Amino acid sequence: MTKALIVGGGVAGPVAAMALQRAGIDSTVYERYPRAATDIGAFLTFAVNGMDALRAIDANTVVTGLGFPTPTLVFRSGTGKVLGAIPLGGSLADGTVTHTIKRAELYGALQDEATRRGVAVEYGRTFVSAEPLPGGRVRALFADGSMADGDLLIGADGIRSAVRQVIDPGAPKPRSLPVLNVGGYVPSGQVSVPVEPGTFEMMFGKRCFFAYTLNGNGEIWWFANPPRRQQPTAEEVDAITDAQWRSELRDLLSVDNSPATAIIEATPGEIRAWPTLDLPEVPVWHRDSMIVIGDAAHATSPASGQGASMAIEDAVILAKCLRDQPDTATACSVYETLRRTRVQRIVAAGAKSSNSKAVGPVGRVIRDAMLPMFLRKMAKGGDKSAAVMFDHHIDWDAAISVR
């Protein structure tokens, strides 16, 4: 194998290209947007296992200076009562902790680093289909009529992956979860909040989940999860105006003892939202020299805080499999064996967390009663699921093998 075609320039795509380069495989990244300018208003949690995966290909410095450390989560009820506090993934050997980063900045930094390393990244290239070629090769077809040939087509094109649909026309569609996502930023000095930088305050409000954190420069980053039993379409969500969002959030959050309403009122610009989706199981990941990775294979709810980290792990491990296995088909099968159980477990955890934010009055009482015990267990290191999620290490030099 000498040439890979990578569809998608978000997180998984550029990292896959850099990892493949390290494994001696050339690639080109095809990104449908002109540049990493999408999702400007969104931010994400970049966990320590994602940082570790970047280190495997000496790319961890790419995120240096992006966002800010958020190593601690504090959970409260709508009354303001502290339900518990836990570390958000602990730290790596050198003290590196989980960070909160603007999505577009992470995309841009990874694309820039891939380009700096000599990877070809082509913008404005919308993938539409693919066809097999003799000798196990594959041809990608683009909306502008152009095409590209390679030994492997990697779909890193997100939750609505076009590559996934080519691999399996019957592939499942994204699943709606019972909350929406809305968020924003408040400039420094506008609102006084009782939190130190590095802590994410998570409130299970009576009517709506709300969270915020304080950047080191005093800026407040926040998000809310308004409940929606019937998930609207993206178009329906886009039709909701800023005034309507402010009115709804005020109504949902004014019953709680928190700075939520003050934070929202002080948020400049237009407040927008987006649906909460995941992919609980994608039966077919690879076929005919085509494979999907990252959100294209196993998108998780933002509540897991693992989307970017899982995508980076995927990219690095796939490159190792292609390096160490005798042929592409075997490499893809080994990759799936190594990844499927882990990622599906994390997707399930994310869905569970999102669902817990939309429980009714009875469920809320039960949740708030049980959560302190669960959080104490996690804080003491007694929760194995947290260790499985965060304590995942990739050694680039270790050979890939499946016994």
Tens of pLDDT, residues 366-403: 888 888 887 777 666 666 667 778 889 999 999 987 76
Least confident of 34-38, 85-89, 185-189, 295-299: 34-38
Please provide the average confidence, as pLDDT, over all residues in the chain: 92
What's residue 239's pLDDT?
Answer: 93
Tokens 């909350």 label which residue? 179
Number of domains in the chain: 2
Predicted local confidence at residue 382, as pLDDT: 60
Alpha carbons 403 and 322: distance in angstroms, whole number: 17
Distance CA 353, CA 98 (A): 19
Domain of 230, CATH number, reads: 3.30.9.30
Residue 389 lies in a domain: no
Chain mean position to CA 219: 23
Residue 292 is predicted with a pLDDT of 98
pLDDT of residue 65: 87
User: 85 lies in a domain?
Assistant: no
In the chain, count H helices and then E strands: 12, 19
In a domain, 373, yes or no: no
Asked if 183 and 165 sit in the same domain, the reply is no
Q: How far apart are CA 325 and CA 15, in angstroms?
A: 20
Regarding whether 234 and 352 lie in a shared domain, the answer is no
Residues 6+ apart with CB under 8 A from 238: 272
Domain match, 238 and 303 both:
no
Note the pLDDT of residue 370. Answer: 81
Contact between 392 and 261 under an 8 Å Cβ cutoff? The reply is no
pLDDT at residue 38 in the model: 53
- Do 142 and 41 share a domain, yes or no? yes
Task: Tell me if 212 sits within 8 A of 315, measured CB to CB.
Answer: no
Q: What is the pLDDT of residue 123?
A: 94
> What are the pLDDT digits (tens) for 97-153?
999 999 999 999 999 999 999 999 999 999 999 999 999 999 999 999 999 999 999
In degrees rounded to 5, what are phi and psi of residue 301?
Answer: -60, 145
What would the two tokens of residue 283 be? 């039966």
Q: Whose structure tokens read 């240096």?
A: 64
CB distance 31 to 156 below 8 Å? no
pLDDT for 40 beyond 90: no
At 93, the pLDDT band (50, 70, 90 cuts) reads confident
Mean pLDDT of all residues in 198-210 = 95
Residue 304 and residue 265 share a domain: no
pTM: 0.93
Half-sphere exposure of 312 (CA within 13 A, CB side): 28
Q: Are residues 185 and 239 in the same domain?
A: yes
Same-domain check for residues 148 and 184: no
How distant, in Å, are the alpha carbons of 85, 179, 208, 357 from that of 228? 27, 5, 10, 11
Of 107-111, 169-173, 219-223, 356-360, least confident by mean pLDDT is 356-360
For 242, the domain range is 175-277
Would residue 95 count as lying in a domain?
no
State the pLDDT at residue 234: 81
Q: Is 67 exposed, middle or buried (0-12, 13-18, 19+ CB in 10 A)?
A: buried
3-state secondary structure of 169: coil
Q: Is residue 399 part of a domain?
A: no
d(C-alpha 335, C-alpha 319), whole Å: 9
For residue 289, the number of C-alpha atoms closer than 13 Å in the C-beta half-sphere is 22
Q: Do 197 and 258 share a structural domain?
A: yes
